[in-house]
Structure 1
Amino acid sequence: MNLILWTSSTECLGIHLGGPQSANLGDGNGFVNQTMELRQDFGDALLGTCLETLEGGNHFRVFRQNGSEANSGALFLAVSQEEDLAESHTIAPNGYDVGRDAFVGNATQGSPSFGGKTYTVQAETLAGVMPSGAAGVNHDIAIDGNAILLTVTID
């Protein structure tokens, strides 16, 4: 299994130049800020996010759908692949689709266990749920319009 480790620390040695992002999940709440942001930490919770800044890697922002018009409780993950520092640590070309696919690939490999529980993840592609292209997309990066529904089963 190819495991990517994540940490809730969005800072590298106390430095974080980004800010919270917002999204409209169609649940009646309008645009809301992310619940949290997690960055790839390369197995080092203390300095790993510094490596993610220097070498590039994935990160994701979490939003919960809980409004009066769609109170599913679902977590929406906005995943992206980041460039290395030489490329100004920007989102890679096609970085939203690439980041999503890498995340899903890692999430669906094997059946990890923790604390006596085993986790199984199934993925289903929801084709065309968003318009493809760059219109209205952060950083004007084109997307394919697909989303992946991940269903996690805990045994």
Structure 2
Amino acid sequence: MRLIDFFVLCVVVQGAVGIGIGWPWRTSDTQQRLGNEPPSGWHDPADGGGRMLDYTTIHYGEPLNVIISGNSHPSVLTHEGLHKYAKSIGFSEECLGLHIGDLHGADLGDGEGRKDEQFLARQHYFPIWGTCWESLAGGNHFRAWQQKDTKAWFLAVSKEKYLGDHHQIIDDGYNIGRDYLVSRALRRGARIEWREDLLEPGNEGINHGIAQD
């Protein structure tokens, strides 16, 4: 799995720095390889009995394919700060603050076991009711959970179909959603690093049977 992990040094994203995992862009696109060991600021959930998939159903999950490191600026490691950062890269809270559908769980190996998503953000197409359009027409969205012992945010990012298709994930939607979010973060000055050692590529255990790399 190409997992993106990045540092955000401040909520004003012009001052952001970041890291990521398995990425197709050039190193000049403000990426930085930091070596084979995970950078401090997060740890592999599997080390504490968790996993890099959320719990979408009893048997299947969606990949946690973006990490915002706990070494980021303290303000982005708060719930309010994550909401502000999401807005700065083109995402926002759900339409009218309403959630329709099941909550996903995740176990980040931090001693808290499986916990429900703490934030769901949808692509904000335009300034007024932009996420309402995403709820109808489909688009990019992410769920977020915070790793208690590192304060890192683990995101499950994907692109979904329109409401009439019950928000099913589009073909290659996990990779497409991840790439969209990180491209937005890069434009705002994030630096990313990629890792490919946290989840095997393919569709084993993945919701909808959609492969990820």
TM-score greater than 0.5 by the shorter chain: yes
Kept in 2: contact 1:4–1:42 (CA 8 A): no
Q: How many residues are treated as equivalent by the alignment?
A: 126
- SS of the aligned residue for 1:76 comes to strand
1:48 and 2:130 correspond = yes
Cα deviations by residue, 1:99-147 (Å, 9 ceiling, x for unpaired): 00110011111x4xxxxxxxx3111111131122222223332221xxx
In structure 2, distance between residues paired with 1:100 and 1:106: 10
Structure 1: give runs of 5+ residues left out of the alignment: 112-119, 145-155
Which residue matches 2:39? Answer: none
1:122 and 2:191 correspond = yes
Query: How big is the shift at 1:63?
Result: 0.5
In structure 1, distance between residues paired with 2:97 and 2:152: 31
Which residue matches 1:29? Answer: 112
Query: How big is the shift at 1:4?
Result: 4.7
Kept in 2: contact 1:34–1:63 (CA 8 A): yes
- TM-score (normalised: structure 1): 0.71
- SS of the aligned residue for 1:39 comes to strand
Identity across aligned pairs (percent)? Answer: 40
1:131 and 2:200 correspond = yes
| Residues 1-155 of structure 1 mapped to structure 2, 5 A cutoff | 4-8=89-93, 10-11=94-95, 16-45=99-128, 47-66=129-148, 71-109=149-187, 111=188, 120-144=189-213
- SS of the aligned residue for 1:108 comes to helix
Query: How big is the shift at 1:54?
Result: 2.8
Q: Which has the higher strand share?
A: 1
Q: Let me know the Cα RMSD of the aligned residues.
A: 2.1
Kept in 2: contact 1:4–1:40 (CA 8 A): no
In structure 1, distance between residues paired with 2:160 and 2:130: 14
In structure 1, distance between residues paired with 2:97 and 2:107: 29
Q: Which has the higher helix share?
A: 2
- TM-score (normalised: structure 2): 0.53
Of structures 1 and 2, the one with the larger relative CO (CA 8 A, separation 6+) is: 2
1:14–1:122 distance in 2 versus 1, CA, 3 Å: closer
In structure 2, distance between residues paired with 1:21 and 1:107: 24
The one-letter code matched in structure 2 to 1:36 is F
